[in-house]
Amino acid sequence: MRLRCAVLDDFQGAAARSADWSAVEVEVVALREHLADEDALAAALADVDIVVTLRERVPFPASLFARLPRLKLLVASGMRNSVIDYAAAEAHGVTVCGTASSSTPPVELTWALLLGLARGIVEENNALRSGGPWQQTVGADLHGRRLGLLGLGKIGSRVAQVGLAFGMRVGAWSQNLTKERADEVGVELAPSLPDLLTTADFVSVHLALGDRTRGLLGPAELALLKPTAYLVNTSRAAIVDQDALLAALTEGRIAGAGVDVFDTEPLPADHPMRTAPRLLATPHLGYVSRANYETYYGQAVENIQAFLAGSPVRRLP
């Protein structure tokens, strides 16, 4: 019997054109719709041997592994995934592998959101195309303004370099950030989170989600932002209290926000984030680029080849 491979959340139908799947002797089935319900997911995957999943959108808890006795290989994009129960995978004889993932796309999207907010790109484009007013916004300058970064890792440090190139004053803070690391990147170390928030004209989030960062920006923290400040989050939704952010936007307590991540994805049709004022939002596009997809799916094919040959590569965790 030929093995079956399901590719989850292939919204754009990109998997087939991003890699040469003919290199593996498997039947590939792309699932174009997101399956959030475990019953629906278990039914859809009941007759597959291999699953390729994107990022951390679909949880694989022990209960799901128990309902997929035919599953033998799970390939996740990226080399870190917090929603897979690895112990359960091992207990059910499922090998889990990852792929490389570039930090370049989220860096670029961060700046797309930040620039879009600063210069009112969406509003001005909509007005121009609909016969609206000629020039209705006054753009926020970047040169000389302060960019505050939460996190100075692989992504945050590259965002910092772009900010410096724009002539911005760049500061950064995280629980473990040292002056040596800040000096290495060429930015200022903020003495505290409140200091960074109260002085920044733009704040961008680049932290991993964990116990210490979940809800890091709540009502009290968002209240520290200037009314002229902008917040950008391309990291994880749970780092920013979603209700507090919605309130700040609705009440006009900050100038705007650029958001690429949400508490529920895909975002429900009636979710308030879809209609919030002062919000520039994208449907989790941070990792979605041609080169990244070629890496994800190309290495997924390599992982399947290696697994079928009896020598799995890029194993997780």
Segment 250-308, tens digit of pLDDT: 999 999 999 999 999 999 999 999 999 999 999 999 999 999 999 999 999 999 999 99
Single out the catalytic residue among 145, 206, 284, 302: 284
What is the C-alpha to C-alpha distance for residues 127 and 184, in angstroms, rounded to an integer?
44
Exactly one of 27, 38, 123, 265 is catalytic; name it: 265
Q: How confident is the model at residue 24 (pLDDT cuts 50, 70, 90)?
A: very high
Beta bridge partners of 26: 3
What was the pLDDT predicted at 1?
72
Q: Specify whether the CB–CB gap between 15 and 50 falls below 8 A.
A: no
Helix intervals (H) in the chain: 15-18, 38-44, 62-66, 86-91, 104-118, 121-130, 154-165, 179-185, 193-199, 219-222, 242-250, 290-308
Please say if 265 is a catalytic residue: yes
Residue 233 has pLDDT above 80, yes or no: yes
Q: Which residues contact 123 (CB under 8 A, 6 or more apart)?
A: 136, 137
Query: Is the distance from CB of 12 to CB of 35 less than 8 angstroms?
Result: no
pLDDT at 287: 96
253-289: burial string, b at 16+ Cβ within 10 Å, e else: bbbbbbbbbbeebeeeeeeebeebebbbbbebbbbbb
Q: What's the pTM? A: 0.94
**Residue 258: in which H helix or E strand, if any?**
strand 256-259
Has 284 been annotated as catalytic? yes
Confidence check: pLDDT of 172 > 90: yes
Residues paired with 172 in a beta bridge? 149, 189
Q: Kindly indicate the confidence band of residue 66, based on its pLDDT and cuts at 50, 70 and 90.
A: very high
| Sign of the CA dihedral running 261, 264, 270, 273 | negative
Nearest partner of 114 among 151, 146, 136, judged by Cα: 146
Q: Which whole number is the average pLDDT over 306-316?
A: 98
pLDDT value of position 120: 98
Among 54, 57, 65, 63, which Cα is nearest to 30's? 54
The label of the residue with tokens 């994805």 reads 265
Residue pLDDT, tens place only, 111-126? 999 999 999 999 999 9
pLDDT of residue 101: 96
Is a pLDDT exceeding 90 seen at residue 199?
Answer: yes
Q: Is the peptide bond before 266 cis (omega within 30 degrees of 0)?
A: yes
